[in-house]
Structure 1
């Protein structure tokens, strides 16, 4: 137990980062549309193009989503795959939930890199839908990540 406690202990720099977060994040309130998730994870995604089954977005890597090495954190990449992949399905008029994601991390994105994120619906069978999400560095064209995202939602009853 002591080793686990030691491992989870924050160094001075990390503790300062956490203390800056607590003042800037507002709790969700009735009638207030933004909460922690919107303020922290999805703020800054800009929609460039939307078509049935296709979404293209831009995103500049913010400091709040980088790891200790200054790279866009893998969890932030997974979140982008989930959000943008789910958006391309939602545009088809159905709300679904994520059931599976697989992500190939092929490169790194640094602080302030401009990313291009494209999602396309690969197919749909009944209530099951699959998407592909590509995340590229806009300036260099380097592929940062490729995500496959599966979603499922209730279909209407046949009764």
Structure 2
């Protein structure tokens, strides 16, 4: 893994809540811990993320899993990221106003591909809500070439 970019990853996660889709899914998220290859957060499920039955909407869970994976990967491999494989398993429903704990862990790297696992559990009883497994491709940021002409 390339280095420790956990401070940048935290800032990226905090700023993601300002974007329209990400902002809806991450609104109210509490970032508890960010370190190289690991992010832990908590979230009380807000009403605007519920489905017709008062459960946490699976689309919102998907966005949160993708953002958490990107943050964890960015914490050790800062650069441009692209999701190349994304699987999720759902185990139990979460109602509005329930609290969940989210943990994203980088579990491996092969070249520019990084694997991350995201676990979501209910706070208190630890019941598993969902698991995401994701492979992301990383491309280092290119250095600025300002002032150089291509002519």
State the TM-score, normalizing by the size of structure 2: 0.76
Residues 125 and 156 (structure 1 numbering): CA distance in 2 closer, same or farther, change over 3 Å? Answer: farther
1:109 partnered with 2:94: yes
Q: Give the paired residue count.
A: 125
Structure 1: 5+ residue runs without aligned partners? Answer: 1-32
Match of 2:139 in 1: 154
Higher relative contact order (CA 8 A, sep 6+): 2
Higher CA-based Rg: 1
Residues 36 and 145 (structure 1 numbering): CA distance in 2 closer, same or farther, change over 3 Å? Answer: same
How far apart in 2 are the matches of 1:88 and 1:53? 5
Match of 1:121 in 2: 106
Correspondent of 1:135 among 120, 134, 139 = 120
Q: CA RMSD in A?
A: 1.9
Correspondent of 1:79 among 60, 63, 67 = 63
The CA deviation string for residues 98-132 of structure 1, in whole angstroms up to 9 with x for no partner, is 12210010111100111100010011111111100
Which protein is richer in strand relative to its size?
A: 2
Structure 2: 5+ residue runs without aligned partners? Answer: 1-16, 143-151
State the TM-score, normalizing by the size of structure 1: 0.73
Equivalent residues of 2:116, 2:134 under 8 A apart: yes
